[in-house]
Amino acid sequence: MDTYLKKEMGVCAKVHYAFWENGEWKIVLVRDPRFKRQGLKAFWKPPGGTLDREKGDTTDRDAASRELTEEAGPIVAPDKLVAVSSEERVSRKTGDPYIEALFSHLDLSRPGTLKSWGDEGEEVGVFRRKELEEMIVWEDILPVNLNSLIEFLKSLPERPLI
C-alpha cells in the first residue's frame, strides 16, 4: 500500500496502536488541546499526521511510524506496521484531495517509551476496550475515525497469538 510522496496530493497517515497489559489489550489514542483552547470539543483519535519530506518521509508508512512516535511515544519501524486501508478523501477545510492511509500495530507489552503528552502538546490516552466502546456511544471519538476504530476493536484477538 505504500503511498509515495506526490506533489499533487497530500497524504495523511494514521496508526491504530494497542499493547497487551494485565491480561487485556490497551489502545492508545491522542487528542489535540488546540480544540479545547478554541472552545471546541477535543475528540480522541489515532495518532497520525501528514507525510513530511523534510522529516525524512518517503511513504505513508514512514509518516505513520514517525507520527506514532512523535504523538504517543512508541517506536515502531515502518515495516512492522500492518496496512489496513488507503482511500482518497477531500479536505473539509480546503477542498483539496488527499490520501488517507491507515495502519495498525500490536505490541506484546507496554512500550517503555509511552508518553503522557505528544511533541506538539497532544494529550495521550490509554484505554481498555470496554472504555472505548463506551466512548463510541458518548461520541468522544473523532467522527471521521469512528468506523475504522470499531473495526480495529473487532479485529483484536482475545489474547496475543504467540
Distances from the Cα of 55 to the Cα of 16, 20, 62, 147, angstroms: 21, 30, 10, 30
pLDDT at 5: 45
pLDDT at 91: 83
Query: Domain ranges in the chain?
Result: 10-155
74: its cell numbers? 512508541
List average pLDDT for each run of 10 residues in the chain, which is 162 residues long: 54 94 95 81 91 91 96 96 91 86 94 93 93 81 87 90 71
pLDDT at 6: 46
Distances from the Cα of 156 to the Cα of 21, 103, 105, 145, angstroms: 14, 14, 10, 17
pLDDT at 161: 76
Find the helix packing angle between 146-155 and 129-137, rounded to 10°.
Answer: 150
Distances from the Cα of 114 to the Cα of 35, 94, 110, angstroms: 23, 33, 8
pLDDT at 159: 85
The domain over range 10-155 is classified in CATH as 3.40.50.150: no
DSSP-assigned beta bridge partners for residue 25? 20
pLDDT at 4: 47
